[in-house]
Structure 1
Amino acid sequence: MQTKFISILAISTLFAANAHADAFSFSTGDPDFRIATGSRPGSTGKIEIESADDFVLTQNTQLNHATFTGLLAGATLSDIANVNVEIYRVFGKDSVNPPSGRVPTRVNSPSDIAFESRESANNSLSYSVTLLSANATAANSVLNGIHPIPNQTTGGEGAVSGQEVKFDVDFSNAISLAADHYFFIPQVELNNGNFLWLSAAKPIVGGSGPFTPDLQSWIRDENLDPDWLRIGTDIVGGTAFNQAFSVSGVSAVPLPAATWLFLSGMLGVMGLGKRRKAAA
């Protein structure tokens, strides 16, 4: 009887642990320096700006690490005060629908509000920064020119230079996400100057390879909130961008169907045997 109980317990535990963990990673590849876009939390004298680019999860996944690359314009490493990472779902999840109509479209944009967030200020993430180049230049930029229709297409704000830096971020509390389509948003607060997130090739080259649909990057500031603009199509015009980032962690892979059938059968047989013995 004890042996049977232990066997049932063991199989039940295995039955409940319905997946095994595989390493997960996604990357858009290295910066292509076509554009750099503001992304920062609000602070004294500076309104919040959010730049977003997308990734897809095909299984339940826990993200524990991320990277992103950008420029410190008019700033140095010592000016970094805080780092945030936000995860948004795709509109119309977490959103008011229909939207306000202040932007050309909300189709395939980030949702109105963040789904998950972590920040160094409350120790839910830690980060390190690597200086890649003391002087790098992006051909175009978006920082202040974020306007509702009909003034959304500014062409961008021109070339911008600064220190090229890569942030490595660890989440002290892993971000647990179901299989779905998401947007990744990094924000860097500086005591001086501006952080601008660098673009990456679209379609993806040298990263994890293209995926479908690979949406273009979006941006908003707190004056446009809750709406978003496409950095390429709406603001610059006639193009589309990805942004330079990666996310990694572990994904839960379901057990094969044959294993499920075997475990179900074993539990059924043992349960039936137990009932017969009790009846006797």
Structure 2
Amino acid sequence: MQTKLIPILAISTLFAANADAAAFSFSTGDSDYRIATGAQAGGTSKEIESADDFVLTQHTHLNQATFTGLLANGATLGDIANVNVEIYRVFGKDSVNPPSGRVPTRVNSPSDVAFLGRESASNSLSYSVTLLNGNASAANSVINGIHPLPDQTTGGEGAVSGQEVRFDINFNDAISLAADHYFFVPQVELKNGNFLWLSAAKPIVGGSGPFTPDLQSWIRDENLDPDWLRIGTDIVGGTTFNQAFSVSGVSAVPLPGATWLFLSGMLGVMGLGKRRKAAA
């Protein structure tokens, strides 16, 4: 047993030396104040989820995130009770298909249920909050006007103001995701008032740059669940939105092919490959 431990450790060291990691970051840029949409985890208010998308081209560990919004309708920093971040895949993964037909489309929407999540209440994420503007405004809003067909197009609920804040998130338990298309869904639980997620420019300006496809943002509340509506196309009409957020971490860079061949050969020399095949 001890005679095989040294080569195994050598292979592990070689793997670690060759397995590289590249910094990953994605951002939609700064808020453009066109709209602010509900992003709250219940508490004294109804639960609302707003979602915007990002793409990973290789396996990635997300360690940090940010999102920017308004503490509105009397909410202050002291009212923040809990912060959640959920990751959704694109419909029809994690979903009943065909869908209910209560919304105009589910094409390119978030899935029915979250793929995974983190929350401050369970210490799987920690956060800090920065006050950016004590009196900021968005030109339009969506909080209560989230309705299934045929009443989905309300035009929005008009201008809203509040304290503009940025949440800086650390995932204490890193979010590990395979290459795929995802939606980022933050929620803030408040003791009073509403948290509204601010929009960002679409196409992206001043962030990580356009990517294809850059899907528009979506929204739902408890009554619409598990369906989603497009904030721009379905509710406001005639426009599309992104939301102000970023995610960052490290992406795994695959080992070069020659290194994999060498490792395979070493396993064969040690007889580990044969035992694995026999065990299978």
TM-score scaled by structure 2? Answer: 0.91
1:15 Cα deviation from its structure 2 partner? 4.8
Distance in 1 (CA, whole Å) between partners of 2:86 and 2:266 is 44
Aligned residue number for residue 141 of structure 1: 141
Matches within 5 A, 1:212-227: 212-227=212-227
Distance in 2 (CA, whole Å) between partners of 1:102 and 1:151 is 10
Residue deviations 1:105-163, cap 9 Å, x none?
00000000011111111211111000001111111110000000100000001111111
2:248 counterpart of 1:248: yes
Look up the equivalent residue of 1:71 and give its one-letter code. Answer: L
Cα RMSD (Å):
2.2
Distance in 2 (CA, whole Å) between partners of 1:99 and 1:3 is 58
1:64 Cα deviation from its structure 2 partner? 1.3
Matches within 5 A, 1:121-270: 121-265=121-265, 267-268=267-268, 270=269
Residue deviations 1:231-275, cap 9 Å, x none?
00000001110000001111111012233234444555x459xx9
1:43 Cα deviation from its structure 2 partner? 2.1
Residue deviations 1:202-258, cap 9 Å, x none?
111111111111100000001000000000000000111000000111111101223
Equivalent position SS for 1:206: coil
Distance in 2 (CA, whole Å) between partners of 1:116 and 1:267 is 35
Change (3 A) 1:82 1:4: closer
Equivalent position SS for 1:42: strand
Aligned residue number for residue 63 of structure 1: 62
Change (3 A) 1:196 1:4: closer
Point out 4+ residue stretches in structure 1 off by more than 6 angstroms.
2-5
Distance in 1 (CA, whole Å) between partners of 2:185 and 2:17 is 32
Gaps of 5+ in 2: 275-280
Matches within 5 A, 1:265-276: 265=265, 267-268=267-268, 270-271=269-270
Q: Is the 8 A contact 2:43 2:191 kept in 1?
A: no
Q: Is the 8 A contact 2:56 2:181 kept in 1?
A: yes
1:192 Cα deviation from its structure 2 partner? 1.4
Equivalent position SS for 1:260: helix
Aligned residue number for residue 278 of structure 1: none
Q: Is the 8 A contact 2:4 2:270 kept in 1?
A: no
Q: Is the 8 A contact 1:12 1:267 kept in 2?
A: no
Aligned residue number for residue 47 of structure 2: 48
1:19 Cα deviation from its structure 2 partner? 3.3
Look up the equivalent residue of 2:205 and give its one-letter code. Answer: V
Q: Is the 8 A contact 2:43 2:190 kept in 1?
A: no
Distance in 2 (CA, whole Å) between partners of 1:110 and 1:50 is 11
Aligned residue number for residue 277 of structure 2: none
Q: Is the 8 A contact 1:110 1:183 kept in 2?
A: yes
Gaps of 5+ in 1: 276-280
Q: Is the 8 A contact 1:90 1:111 kept in 2?
A: yes
